[in-house]
Structure 1
C-alpha cells in the first residue's frame, strides 16, 4: 500500500514539474545545451530573410537592411496583401533567373505572404526570451505545438531563406545546422533564456 501511494505521489510530482508534455524537465546540462541551440535558432529567425515578413507593423520589410517595403505594400486582412496589391501580384511562383538583374521581386511556389494580422508572430526587435516564449505559445504562433512548428520549418517560404535568389544574402547559418539546433532545443524542453 505504501509503495503504491509513493508511486502515485511521485507520478503527480513529475507531472506538476512538466512543461505541458510527457517529457521530464531537462537536466542542467541539457538545458544549457538547449539554450545554446536556441541562440542559433534566434539568430536565424531574426535574420532579414525571416524577420522581413515578421515585422511589428503591417508593412513588410525588404532587403538585407530590413527597410520598409517600397510601393506602400500592406499586410492585408489575411496576410496576403490588399485587394489589387496582393503579394503574388509581384512575387511569382519562382525566383527569376539572375539574368533578370538586381531588385527583381523573388518568388515562391507556396505563394508569398505574411502571417495574418491577428497572429503577426513578430520577430523584429523582440528580445530573445520574449521571442522564445512567443514561438512556443500556440495562442500566439498560429496554434502550433512543437511538432507542428518543426513541420513548418519545411514550408517552401521558410526554406526560401537559404536560396533567396540573385542579389540577396541567404541565411548565413547552414539549414542543416539550423534544423539540428532546433531539434536540440526542442529535445531539451525548448528552454528560454533569461532576460539578462
Structure 2
C-alpha cells in the first residue's frame, strides 16, 4: 500500500509551505529488520535536533549538541508551561517567530532562534525522552498512551505534517542536522511497525 501525502501548512499570510513524504509500508519485515530500523530511529530521536524539545514536566527545553558546549537547560530561564508553548510565561514564538515566506533562507544566521511556518512548541510532556535509553524511548513510542494514541501509519503521518520536525533535517545556522533524512526516518518507522514494533533488550 502506498499513500503519497502532500501536506500544506497555511500561514497567516496565506502563503503555503509544501512537504512531501512517501508513506509506503513494506509487505513484511522480520524482527531483526525491525530492530535494525529501531536503532536508526533511536539515532534520530536521541539527536539534539529532536531530543532538546522532548523534555518532561519541568517544561524546560534543553541546549545540547556540538554547537552548545555543555548540556544545559535553555538559556534565559525559558519555561514552556503546561501549554508547552510558553503561554503562561513568555511564548516560544516571541523569539521563534513564524516564518511565512522564503523558507530556504529562514535559519541561516548562527545562534539565532530557529523558526518554521508554524508555532514553535515543546513536544507533549508524555513524549519526554531527553537523555533516556533506547529501550525506554522504544517503549514510549509504541505505547498509545504516550504517543498520542497513534499507530504505525499515524506516527509516519505525524512526521510528515509537523514542520518543526522537518526543521531537524534542515536546521541551518551551522547546526548539525538529524541523521539520515526525513524520508529514511519515515521508512524506518514503517519497517519497525510492520515488524511488530520490537524493542531492544535492556
**Which runs of structure 1 show a deviation greater than 4 angstroms over 4 or more consecutive aligned residues?**
none
- The question of 1:162 aligning with 2:169 is answered yes
Change (3 A) 1:115 1:175: closer
Q: What does residue 132 of structure 2 align with?
A: 126
Give the number of equivalent residue pairs.
Answer: 164
Shift of residue 62, structure 1, vs aligned partner: 2.5
Q: 2:142 aligns with which of 113, 123, 136?
A: 136
Q: Distance in 1 between matches of 2:115 and 2:141?
A: 25
Q: Cα 1:104–1:141, aligned 2, differ >3 Å: closer, same or farther?
A: same
Q: Which residue of 1 aligns with 2:154?
A: 148
Larger Rg: 1
For residue 142 of structure 1, report the CA deviation from its aligned partner: 2.1
Equivalent residue number for residue 13 of structure 2: none
**Cα RMSD (Å) of the superposition?**
1.9
TM norm structure 2:
0.74
Pick the structure with more helix per residue: 1
Write the distance in 2 (CA, Å) between the matches of 1:96 and 1:36: 34
Equivalent-residue separation in structure 2 for 1:91 and 1:153 (angstroms): 20
Flag the structure with higher strand content: 2
Distance 1:113 1:175 in 2: 20
**Structure 2 CA distance for aligned equivalents of residues 177 and 127 of structure 1:** 22
CA distance in 2, matches of 1:161, 1:34: 23
Q: Which consecutive unaligned segments of at least 5 residues does structure 2 have?
A: 1-27, 100-104
- Equivalent residues in 2 for 1:43-192, closer than 5 Å: 43-56=43-56, 57-64=58-65, 65=68, 66-94=71-99, 96=106, 98=108, 101-117=109-125, 119=126, 121-154=127-160, 155-192=162-199
2:134–2:200 CA contact under 8 A, matched in 1: yes
Q: Which segments of 5 or more consecutive residues in structure 1 lack a partner in the other structure? A: 1-25
Asked if the contact 1:53/1:60 (under 8 Å) is kept, the reply is yes
CA contact (8 A) 1:35 1:193 kept: yes
Cross-structure match for 1:38: 38
Report the Cα distance in structure 1 between the residues aligned to 2:107 and 2:54, rounded to whole angstroms: 26
Alpha-carbon distance between aligned partners in 1 of 2:72 and 2:187, rounded to the nearest angstrom: 30
TM-score, length basis structure 1: 0.76
